[in-house]
Amino acid sequence: MDWVNAILQGTLLGGLYALFAAGLSLIFGVMRLVNIAHGDLIVLAAYLALTVIMALGIHPLMSLLAVVPVMAVVGYVLQRSILNRTLGDDILPPLLVSFGLSVIIQNALLETYTADPQRLSAGPIEVASLNLGGLAVGYLPFLMFVTAVAIIGGLQIVFYRTGLGRAFRAVSDNQDIAQLMGINRRHVFALAMALSLAVTAVAGIFLGIRTSFDPATGPARLIFGFEAVIIGGMGSLWGTLAGGVILGVSQAIGAQVNPGWQILAGHVAFLVILAVRPRGLFPRMDG
Amino acid sequence: MPEPILRTNRLDARYGDFQALYCVDMELGEGEVVAIIGANGAGKTTLMRSVSGLMKNAAEQIVYRGRPIGALRADQVAELGIGLVPEGRQLFPSLSVEENLIIGGRVGRSGPWSLAAIYALFPVLEERRHLPSTSLSGGQQQMVAIGRALMANPDLVMFDEISLGLAPVVIKQIYDALPGIVGEGMSAVVVEQDVTKALSVSSRVYCLQEGRVSLEGCSDTVTREEISRAYFGQ
Ligand SMILES: Nc1ncnc2c1ncn2[C@@H]1O[C@H](COP(=O)(O)OP(=O)(O)OP(=O)(O)O)[C@@H](O)[C@H]1O
Ligand SMILES: [Mg+2]
């Protein structure tokens, strides 16, 4: 029963990793941009939530109503003003610029909020649990997992059932030809980044509720996000969810064997999958 | 002569240090079909890319309905009603056949072309509309590429080597459809390696040679000798 429980908890934790990763996966899929600042943007969202919560005295989950649109606007402006300029045949400029952005965000957070660890307190639901056939399932991890599935399902619908999604796929396939269809790729890229950071806002708030965070927390989240994306296969959204779950379950199993092995087990699972399936478990058919 | 729908003025184009077009002057009248011929590497595709905005030029080097458009982005040029059927078809592999057509209609200009009209022109596409575009034969993909450009209801459409790599029977099918397309009052530029085909669909012809216009003439009066001289130089 301990093992079943470990796998279940790992699966739920995987939902959070999938939330970290979904925004990365989305922009990689649309514009082949590897956003090194993604983890720091998650932490930025958590701090924005903290500010909103302190100012208005509302519940962290309510702060989503403010933080999601703010992060979406940040994403749009960031892409149009900075990141679009770095995109081209050379993959190095976007990496360097987003790395620089990561450093800037960390320092700005340090200046504004100090290095003290913070948490978003969600009250009684943090300890509430559901009883599923003898297994205690934390209410919060369950909510995170369901949210992750819903968000990834929603992104999937946007991608495959809407005009915006068609534009995303078209620019991803062939930017030149997409422009011939009257698509302004700079605008479409900025919309993709807006969507990515809207998802990041949700990830940041769940992160803040689950664990404490400080301005330097971002890079570690970025690693989990990357691993989930790469395990699942670059650019595949359901693959990213699977990647998050595999990472979460590996960590839970590792921790079950020896509490010190939790993080290591996740990285080992990542390396093994990368060695066996270099393109991930569910790579997109093309490219 | 009335103001042409499209005119290039001493158009230059370069890829980095390499200059691909020199001083190209070309005109296309309203409702006219002009053919562009020339050997491999002569600059035909570069000319199409310049007009469609995929390559940037000085604004006045390309004039569309009296308006300088050389410096516009490709999406802005598309909104003005210029369509391109690119060399090598270049369908979107992640989109189904029907999605490729729908995205072509995204600019939302009104006119005779709609999904129903494209399916009436190429019935085989309707049967395959939910398949991935890459699963079609070369000829069917070319039909999708043509339909995708028409869906925008352009006033001017450019076809870059639509018969390249296709079986003769398919080429005939596509060329048989052409008068019906251009008959809707559209102006067209047809780039074609097959000189006989090019001359038969056009009223005037330009030949490019190493980035320069080497011949300009009426399609029914140019002679074979003139053309072969324009193709290969003296
Ligand atoms: N992306 C590029 N970078 C550098 N040079 C290029 C590029 N594309 C084309 N060229 C060069 O520009 C010249 C004109 O090429 P273009 O593709 O316009 O010729 P074309 O007449 O369309 O030939 P084809 O019949 O082979 O399609 C050629 O010498 C070609 O090598
Ligand atoms: Mg060409």
Q: How far is CA A83 from the centre of its chain?
A: 18
- Confidence band (pLDDT; 50, 70, 90) for A287? very low
Residues B14-65 have pLDDT tens digits of 999 999 999 999 999 999 999 999 999 999 999 999 999 999 999 999 999 9
Ligand closest to the CA atom of residue B20? 1
pLDDT for B202 equals 94
Cα distance from N-terminal residue to C-terminal residue, chain A: 43
Q: Is the pLDDT of residue A273 over 60?
A: yes
Q: Which CATH class is domain A2-120+136-276?
A: mainly alpha
pLDDT for B13 equals 96
More confident site: B81 or A234: B81
CB contact under 8 Å between B103 and A181, yes or no, is yes
DSSP one-letter code for A281: S
Homologous superfamily of B6-232: P-loop containing nucleotide triphosphate hydrolases (3.40.50.300)
CA distances to A141, B203, B217, B221 from B199, in Å: 70, 7, 10, 10
Q: How far apart are CA A8 and CA B166, in angstroms?
A: 56
- Domain positions in chain B: 6-232
- Confidence band (pLDDT; 50, 70, 90) for A1? low
In DSSP notation, chain B reads -PPPSEEEEEEEEEETTEEEEEEEEEEE-TT-EEEEEE-TTSSHHHHHHHHHTSS---GGGEEETTEE-TTS-HHHHHHTTEEEE-TT----TTSBHHHHHHHHGGG---SS--HHHHHHHSHHHHHTTTSBGGGS-HHHHHHHHHHHHHTT--SEEEEE-TTTT--HHHHHHHHHHHHHHHTTT-EEEEE-S-HHHHHHH-SEEEEEETTEEEEEEETTT--HHHHHHHHH--
Q: Is the pLDDT of residue B207 over 60?
A: yes
Residues A39-51 have pLDDT tens digits of 999 999 999 999 9
ipTM for the predicted complex comes to 0.93
Instruction: Determine whether the shortest distance from the Cβ of B15 to ligand 1 is under 6 A.
Output: yes
Closest C-alpha residue for ligand 1 atom 2 = B15
Instruction: Determine whether the shortest distance from the Cβ of B8 to ligand 1 is under 6 A.
Output: no
**By the CB < 8 Å criterion, does B121 face chain A?**
no
Q: How far apart are CA A150 and CA B27, in angstroms?
A: 55
Instruction: Determine whether the shortest distance from the Cβ of B43 to ligand 1 is under 6 A.
Output: yes
Ligand closest to the CA atom of residue B21? 1
Ligand 1 nearest-atom number relative to CA B38: 21
- Confidence band (pLDDT; 50, 70, 90) for A286? very low
Q: Is the pLDDT of residue B234 over 80?
A: no
Q: How far apart are CA A200 and CA A202, in angstroms?
A: 5
Q: What is the mean pLDDT of residues B113-141?
A: 95
pLDDT for A136 equals 85
Residue A84 distance to chain B (closest CA, Å):
15
Residues A160-216 have pLDDT tens digits of 999 999 999 999 999 999 999 999 999 999 999 999 999 999 999 999 999 999 999
Residues A72-123 have pLDDT tens digits of 999 999 999 999 999 988 889 999 999 999 999 999 999 999 999 999 998 8
Q: What is the mean pLDDT of residues A121-149?
A: 89
Residues B157-187 have pLDDT tens digits of 999 998 888 888 889 888 888 888 888 789 9
> What is the share, in percent, of chain B residues with pLDDT greater than 90?
82
- Confidence band (pLDDT; 50, 70, 90) for A226? very high
pLDDT for B183 equals 80
CB atoms within 10 A of CB A198: 22
Closest C-alpha residue for ligand 1 atom 18 = B43
**By the CB < 8 Å criterion, does A166 face chain B?**
yes
Mean pLDDT taken over chain A: 93
Ligand 1 nearest-atom number relative to CA B21: 14
Residue B112 distance to chain A (closest CA, Å):
18
> What is the share, in percent, of chain A residues with pLDDT greater than 90?
82
**By the CB < 8 Å criterion, does B80 face chain A?**
no
- Confidence band (pLDDT; 50, 70, 90) for B1? low
**By the CB < 8 Å criterion, does A164 face chain B?**
no
Cβ-contact B222, B205 below 8 angstroms: yes
CA–centroid distance, A234 to ligand 2, in Å, is 33
- Domain positions in chain A: 2-120+136-276
Residues B109-118 have pLDDT tens digits of 999 999 999 9
